Each structure stands twice: as C-alpha cells, then as structure tokens.
C-alpha cells in the first residue's frame, strides 16, 4: 500500500496540518484502518479507493472514523491530482458527507463543503473553566464555536482537555477577530483523541460561515493559530455551501510493508 505524508493549508513543509493519505486497490477491514491511523498518530489518516470515475474517501483519527475532514480531503486531492489523475483539474470523492469536489485554482485546491445550521447557545461557567477565558458568545453546529474578545486570548489559551470533553460539540473551537486576517481560531478535539488539530478545515465550515455573517462578507481569510499554523481562504457559495481553499506540500512517500490484519 502506498502512503503519502502531506502538509495541508501551507506551502512549507513542517507547517500546516499533516495528513497521511493511503491509496489502495480495495478496502481492508475497518480494524486495519483504525490500527494504521493509530500507528501514524496524526490527527487524520485518509484512505482512498478508486470506484469508477470517482474515489471513495474515508477519514480516521487515532480514535475513530469521522464524517468530514478538511485538511485530509485537501491532502487527498493533492495526491490524486499530482500522482494519479495528472492533467485533471478536479476530483470528486464519495464520503460519509456526500460527494465532495475539489478543484484546482492556480496553486490552490478549492474544496466544496457543506455548511451546518448554527444556533447561539448560552455561555456557561463550564465553558469558561474549560477554555480558561470566558467566551463572549457560543455557537453550536456540528462543533462548538466559542467567540473571544481578542486574538491574544486565543493564541495564549491552554484549555483543560478533560473539561473540554464534557461540553457541547464534536470539536471545541476558539475564535476571535484577527489582526492581519478576518479571524483566528484554534480547534481542540479531546473527544476524537486529538488534543489540538493544527489546521481544521471542517471546523471552518462553521467558523468562517459565522464570521461571514457577522462581518457581512462572502470571503473570509482565516488563520489557524496553532503552533504549526495555517491559512484557509473561505468563500460562501450561492448554493448555501462553502468553498475552502488552501495549498499543500508533499513531505514523504512511503510503502506500508506490514500485512494488515
């Protein structure tokens, strides 16, 4: 099995968000994919099998399979368009979140992603204790998005992972207005066995959509203020979906030699 290590949402190796992309002829047992995701110990390992004109794509964290992952989709599109479907300008993936299409836009890959209904919920003392700072607002979709006063608060945050795992949302996100970008954010994922996702595309289906409404803009330049850091260019579509664009760079190409159980 061929495996590629790709850094997504960056044009520099060893920054952005790393994802492993495994390209296979057929599907192994789910247990095998979970074991390989645990072995890689990255926030996501993507598994790809060509099915007709499209590709079937699945994502696994070290703890579980997930229904949507932005950076591993970007990494998968980069691998397919660079090594398997050279000369093509787009690729479609069949996923648990439906058909996801990724198109080349110059040196960017643009992903067409779903958005989620967002509702404001009360800010609680538990949220304040978990993040270490009291949010100004809390918004819930698939994930929790807590809005803070300043970029400095988000950057300096050292949340309590155990408490985060007891509050709402698949992922617990912190966001604030950015000094040089429209917004900054960090994404914490204790429920997925990931303390912090370096650059989370799926979370920005909600974070960027919220800021687009607040700022009255269709295009949002977001920066994920993790230690690795990464840029996401987000555009609200007339279809009600969101386009999320970023760059990607290849770090390593390997062969999985161990037989999968």
In degrees rounded to 5, what are phi and psi of residue 246? -170, 170
pLDDT in tens, 28-80: 999 999 999 999 999 899 999 999 888 999 999 998 999 989 999 999 999 99
Please give the residue range of the domain that contains residue 107: 2-113+245-255
Domain of 68: which CATH number? 3.10.310.10
Residues 138, 101, single domain; the answer is no
pLDDT higher than 90, residue 136: yes
Q: Which residues contact 72 (CB under 8 A, 6 or more apart)?
A: 8, 19, 21, 44, 45, 46, 59
Alpha-carbon separation of residue 147 from 80, 154, 260 (angstroms): 36, 9, 43
Chain mean pLDDT for the chain? 95
Q: Which of 220, 233, 4, 261 has the alpha carbon at shortest distance from 108? A: 233
Residue 260 belongs to a domain: no
Tokens for 206, please give them.
């909600």
Chain segment 1-26, per-residue pLDDT in tens = 999 999 999 999 999 999 999 999 99
| Residue 71: its H or E element | helix 70-79
Q: What is the structure's pLDDT at 52?
A: 87
Secondary structure class of 251 (helix, strand, coil): strand
Pair (90, 125) in one structural domain: no
Q: Are residues 6 and 37 both part of a single domain? A: yes
In this prediction, residue 53 carries a pLDDT of: 83
Confidence at residue 206, expressed as pLDDT on a 0 to 100 scale = 96
Domains contained in the chain, number: 2
Residue the block writes with tokens 């579509």: 237
pLDDT, position 183:
98
Residue 261 has pLDDT above 80, yes or no: no
**Per-residue pLDDT for 190 more than 80?**
yes
Do 68 and 35 sit in the same domain of this protein? yes
* 145 domain-assigned: yes
The answer on 29 and 68 residing in a single domain is yes
Options 44, 110, 151, 196, the catalytic residue: 44
Note if 44 is an active site residue: yes
């Amino acid at each position: 099995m061929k495996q590629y290590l790709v850094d997504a949402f960056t044009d520099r190796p060893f920054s952005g968000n790393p994802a492993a992309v495994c390209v296979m002829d057929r599907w192994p047992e789910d247990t095998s994919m979970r074991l390989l995701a645990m072995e890689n110990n990255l926030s996501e390992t993507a598994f790809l099998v060509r099915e007709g004109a499209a590709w079937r794509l699945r994502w696994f964290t070290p703890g579980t399979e997930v229904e949507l992952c932005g950076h591993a989709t970007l990494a998968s599109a980069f691998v397919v368009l660079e090594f398997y479907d050279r000369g093509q300008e787009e690729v479609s993936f069949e996923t648990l979140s439906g058909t996801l299409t990724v198109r080349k836009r110059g040196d960017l890959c643009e992903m067409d992603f779903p958005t989620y209904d967002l509702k404001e919920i009360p800010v609680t003392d538990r949220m304040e204790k978990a993040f270490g700072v009291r949010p100004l607002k809390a918004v819930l979709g698939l994930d929790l998005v807590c809005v803070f006063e300043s970029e400095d608060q988000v950057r300096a945050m050292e949340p309590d992972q155990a408490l985060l795992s007891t509050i709402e949302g698949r992922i617990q996100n912190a966001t604030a207005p950015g000094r040089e970008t429209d917004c900054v954010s960090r994404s914490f994922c204790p429920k997925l066995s990931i303390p912090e996702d370096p650059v989370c595309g799926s979370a920005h289906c909600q974070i960027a959509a919220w800021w687009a409404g607040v700022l009255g803009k269709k295009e949002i330049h977001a920066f994920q203020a993790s230690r690795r850091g990464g840029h996401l260019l987000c555009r609200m579509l007339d279809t009600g979906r969101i386009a999320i664009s970023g760059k990607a760079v290849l770090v390593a190409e390997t062969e999985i030699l161990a037989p999968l159980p």
